[in-house]
Structure 1
């Protein structure tokens, strides 16, 4: 990021908080005046009394609300900034799984927040886009990213909700404040956004451009698109919108029989549940059909399952929320496997497609035993997928996992050994090349010996290998210090053969590369020769001894046979730094989110946050191949990937990060396709709830 732009960005955030100290108290005053005006023209006594109560409570808590709004705003903006230690957060919506765990009060609060955001966004839309474009540019982004704006509407509304919740008033009073105060809040933010955008313009910050989604390489045919459109619209009803409250009631099984406003034809709790379930299934399939990470034939087959899923929803209205339900598991299995294929020509796709066609045919057969067919079809699909993997590949994967577990265990132990060595009194005075050797390869040697001895059935007689490798440390460090070794040449001559023999034995035990072994031996013998030929009474200064910094290499060490057995990707570091700033996946883009957003998000996290099950594309020799993370080591330093053909590939944490830096790896999916579709259903319900009330008419 340009230094001047960085300063402009920081100044903009500071000025936003300064301006807020002025307009927030003014907004509270405007809210109070608006409540009084509405109270005067209210036609019903109950409405007038409600407005009077809201205005009276506001007068009592006016200063407290302003103070807490400012405080919450400072906290929320800080946690929303991209450099606050976490990745930028998405809009304040709710996921499908979260909704099921919510109480009624939490759902209502979420709906209120959604409605306020809708009103405010309508008031600030143009000004917000202009400010976001300049803030994105100030952070070094060439394409505008809405989440890179820590001053977005969601941040202010979240701060407002937090401050109002801290004031002890009735929920009805708080709802009145939000309903009446939404429009003046939008006006205040619009003015602030305008001023801040002009400030960035005066600082020379140009707006970032708008991103253009690349056309995916695989598009459904015109016929498939037509069929999908017809299928999706069959049960869509614009007058029957799914709201967050209705979705929540469906998930918790607590439908209100007295509320038939959205479902006038539902005459019972079960009827309403079936109607809502049908809406969810329809919206879920619509989202899946729009997910271009799946090949068009797969999306078409999934839409063909809709009649069966709608029929199942009549008897099991919540089957899609139960991840153990056979129908939900079948959907997950089909979509999960589908992500392995990037082209209809991929090996294994024909067999998979035929198996899914068979599933669809079985589910569409008439009969009352539909619910019993899902487990049978799930079992058949799982057996066919297991049979598609050769036994040799299964064995190779098992060996890779065992090897990676052993590698991580040894590396973690080697880190502790290195820490032990660093605490020795003679370590700081040892030359840098020896210090790096001791905390690197030699720590691995000692760790390997300790592990072998721990796993041995009987303990060795006399000194163990690990003990000998440790006992050699004083002689090695002493002999490498010119000032000390030159004063006692007889001792130097005596210990050199034993030191060199022990070093070679230890390095051979971990199959350390011969060329690196010889390079270290040459350096060490050069020190020994200098000490033998020179007598010095003046020891070199500490600064001289520490002039060579230690290597900071967090790459786990592997022996050559371990790299082979674990199917290690060995070309991660061969290409060096990327030679272009353009992404390497220009022709294989299949992401629903901008790649720059995802890469920033991942870079802000630890790599271990990438869950098992994640699908990625890896560029090798100019070709992108699809892989899934099927195993991660307990401490997240090593990953095992599986390809669509059953092949295995392992990678270190640093290798994963390096591929990201080189634009040779991109994340295709971190969550399941069905999970993502249901989250979109919840989001649509959230949006529908926000549109359900017209604030201007209150």
Structure 2
């Protein structure tokens, strides 16, 4: 193994890497102009000409931005030299830095992951070689992807940020990220090879690739031994009894043998860190004793003893640092719970159930404390949830209007500032307060006033309504401090419309036509987003709006060509998103391990906290669904501790060597 080279030499080796930016931009533009490219036949074609025109105007800015971001990313990765591991004390969990990952951000994350995959695939061997050279140049004893300052995610994130700085529509930006990613991958293949030759010229000898010894993970058991199936443990008991070298003389002996072998597999589980393993080992004598007295232990996979083991393992799975303060605190509490069980002369099923309840209560309390410390962030997310619900109600109300269409300015007001008004009233006075109800009623009155009224009685009612309607609108706008100029413009538009209606004229159709003609493409798209299809059921014109319910059918995670069974499976996965569970997810350009801390009542918003204290990720339901469809979010423990033990035991029983 060669000696590490000075940091200044390594910096000089990679200092030319950011210059790739110009080639990436030039080759991407050439690809966009290529009439024979396969992507020219795709639905993206409508974006091409606008995208080419925008890039020609912003080409130098894009080059400069991409070059700067690559340089910054590589320098930050270089400065992150692995240090001697030290016990660190994480900060108290705080979620105040709230950023909402919506479907648009999820789409961008998907494109970033695809760029990373393109680099991995196109430059597979060159990437392996540069990782080996970098490990040696930086004095590493083993090859680690994270120690490579030129790893694919550094470039993918830089490309994403650079395209975000361009003045192009979101859909066009995703197309650009996809095309530029392919060019970046091709160029990095060459760049990686050149860097290896430069390091070789400095006398660096790459580390040899070798298999890293790891504990053997058990193979997945056949479907006949899935714990979700009834009677699985009973069948496993029979299998273990038949495989025993000597006949077992009693049911108690059979049960004890099975429990003993399962515990051996549990304690050998490679996913358990040592302090968790030793904690679970303390329970073994109590569970073995229970096997003699409680036949249900070896017949029911949901027995409280097994559930307690699963809960302990699942909660600890998200901590990769055994010295994490939160993990240490949890293990201290769990040890006290286990010690109480073990100290009993003959612990029974209900003692394990009580232990599980205590563990769950502790976890819930810590989650509530974390959320309470971040009350501002949670309030913000709840406001977003309320606004989303209110917009759904408004869509229903607008669709029930007869004989008139809203102007774009009034539509923008209702779906923007007036939603903010109602959310503010609910936050100050309560969701079902008189103030909030009155503001919602104002919407009813406003929409009714915008419709044509030919009957004298309706005009008389409108004339009497207008002063109070104006007063209510002003009270609401005062609540959020809406600017005076915008307020006056809105009231002037309403006044002109109402005057026409009272004179017996019908300005609504003309106004609507003029409004549509004046819409920009962006406004048309936004209007389409504001009024999505609510499903096959259409509300009748006289049917009242139910403000207590909103459409709750989840969006299908698969394309229309996929099976109903596949869609149902993904919907079932979403239904199991429960606070306290750990997930591995790709958000905002990086993989993180995060715990679900909170979900909204309507299941449309989720707050995750990553294992690195102080960082949170708030996702909309549709963002989670998009990540799920692309394989970018998964349960950290997709198979429980007990299921893994069963898998491993079956593997041992199937082995020809007993």
TM-score range, shorter chain: 0.3 to 0.5
- Determine which structure has greater relative contact order: mean sequence separation of CA pairs < 8 Å that are 6+ residues apart, divided by chain length: 2
TM-score, scaled relative to structure 1:
0.41
Q: Which one has a bigger Cα radius of gyration?
A: 1
